[in-house]
Amino acid sequence: MPIAADLIRGHTETIILAHLYSRDSYGYEVNKSIYEKSGGRYELKEATLYGAFRRLEEAGRIESFWGDENTGARRRYYRITERGRSALRENLDEWGDAKKLIDILIQTEGERL
Amino acid sequence: MNERISKHIDELFMGVEHTRQAADIKEELAGNLQAKYDDLLSNGLSEEEAFENVISGIGDIKGLLGAGQIREVESAYRRRQTSSLLKGLAITLFVVSAIPIIFFTTFIPSLEIIGVISSIGIVAAAVGIVVYAASIKPEKYKKGDDTFVEEYKEKVTGGDKRQRLRGAVSSTLWLTVVTIYLAVSFMTHSWHLTWLIFLAGALAQNIVMYMMGDTRRVGKLIGSTVWTAAIISYFVIGFLTGQWFWGAFVFLVAALLQQLVRLIRIWNEV
């Protein structure tokens, strides 16, 4: 479903903010949750994820810190900031409006398709 | 760390310039790939399957730190360094600006006016350098995916506005400081003390910028506070006791304090 894939890529930042709203997390954990919630159908590329993380961090909506793993490479964790929470609220409102708008625009008249 | 994965990552990052940003991305990638690999193994995949899965999920990391972006980061870094260097030079000039007036007033009172003009000239030069340093400091520039073009344009103009506001506030603040300096100096003739107003100005600027959301300046704020307090203490001790060499200890304490604060902050982050 190319539409869904595009939408997910287009809303990566909101998806990340929503995930971090509930708990601090790191890249793979966020991606895994997308994978599981989509019933195993969608997964973001690492590069896409990191691009989004960086933009969010530069906008001051999330902040990062290095984890303290006992074995292997360190994980980069992210937590949402106050600015991030308000951006999330705004994005959710906008998405709600967009959904309604698209539904209106793609309404067919006459016989129900 | 799985050997095949870490080797693959090393290969990916071959030829990439060694910037802090690249190193961070590399380490973050390693951490996430390792976590994913372990997860897949525990879900029953074979080592080969898990490896293929993990590797194919990386995407265009090179694009994230493509040569162009690295160069941009490097030149931005250099410009930031130059900007800081110039600001340091400007502050030195502010301090030195008192010398002509003191010199002429003490030794050649008849030519006092030359001292005044020279001091003002040095202050003017220093202000000019501060303004120039601020102008070459690179703006935050974000590059999005192709699908993010519209969102990105929006963000750039948003960030741009915020930054322009900060720049305007900063310029206003410095003009105010210079005006206060000249006014107080001409009224009290204490040119050997009034240059301290510029230190207060630097402190005020960092406070204002921090309040306007520029959280990067916290470290600088602490630094400014420590050094302003040190310089004021130095002069107070010097004038009160006449023992100017005690001043050296004040600066040593200030340097120690600043490093301590830095250590505490890094400790908290770790």
Q: Does B269 touch chain A (CB under 8 A)?
A: yes
Q: Which residues of A, range 18-57, sit inside 8 Å of B by Cβ? A: 26-29, 31-32, 43-48, 50-51, 54-55
Instruction: Answer whether A11 touches B (CB < 8 Å).
Output: no
Note whether B64 contacts A51, CB cutoff 8 Å.
yes
Min distance B5 CA to chain A CA atoms (Å): 11
Strand A25-26 and strand A76-80: the pairing is antiparallel
Q: What is the pLDDT of residue B237?
A: 77
Task: Pick the closest to residue A35 from A62, A8, A53, A10 (CA basis).
Answer: A8
Region of residue B242 (phi > 0: left; psi between -120 and 50: alpha; otherwise: beta): left
Contact: A47, B147; criterion CB under 8 Å = no
Q: What pTM was computed for the model?
A: 0.48
Is pLDDT larger for residue B62 or for residue B43? B43
CA distances from B113 to A64, A76, A107, B78, B128 (A): 56, 61, 82, 41, 22
- Cα separation of B139 and B159, whole Å? 9
pLDDT at B179: 84
Distance from CA of A108 to the nearest CA of B (A): 28
Quote the minimal CA–CA distance from A106 to chain B in Å: 22
**Residue A30 to residue B124: CA distance in whole angstroms:** 53
pLDDT digits (tens, 9 = 90+) for B100-142: 888 888 888 888 888 888 888 898 898 888 888 888 777 655 4
pLDDT at A79 > cutoff 90: yes
Whole-number Å distance between alpha carbons of B55 and B53: 6
Q: What are A25-39's pLDDT values in tens digits? A: 999 999 999 999 999
B36 touches chain A (CB under 8 A): yes
pLDDT at B154 over 60: no
Instruction: Give residue for tokens 């693959």.
Output: B8
Q: A112 or B130: whose pLDDT is higher?
A: B130
Closest CA to B34 of A46, A48, A58, A54: A46
Q: Please state the rounded mean pLDDT for residues B228-252.
A: 75
What does the pLDDT average to over A12-22? 95
User: How do strand A25-26 and strand A62-66 relate by DSSP bridges?
Assistant: unpaired
Torsion on CA atoms B255, B95, B127, B87, rounded to nearest 10: -20
| Contact: A46, B63; criterion CB under 8 Å | no
**Most A CBs within 10 Å: which of B25, B28, B148, as the mutation test of the A interface?**
B28
Please, what are the domains in chain A? 2-105 (1.10.10.10)
Q: Which helix (H) or strand (E) holds B239?
A: helix B218-241
Residues of chain A contacting residue B59, judged by C-beta atoms under 8 Å apart? 44-48
Ordered alpha helix ranges (H), B97-217: 98-107, 112-136, 149-188, 191-194, 196-211
Cβ atoms of residues B62 and B152 within 8 Å: no
3-state secondary structure of A66: strand
Structure tokens at B191: 């040119």
> Which range has the worst mean pLDDT, B41-45, B171-175, B221-225?
B221-225
pLDDT at B73: 60
The rounded Cα B64 to chain-centroid distance in angstroms is: 24
A95 touches chain B (CB under 8 A): no
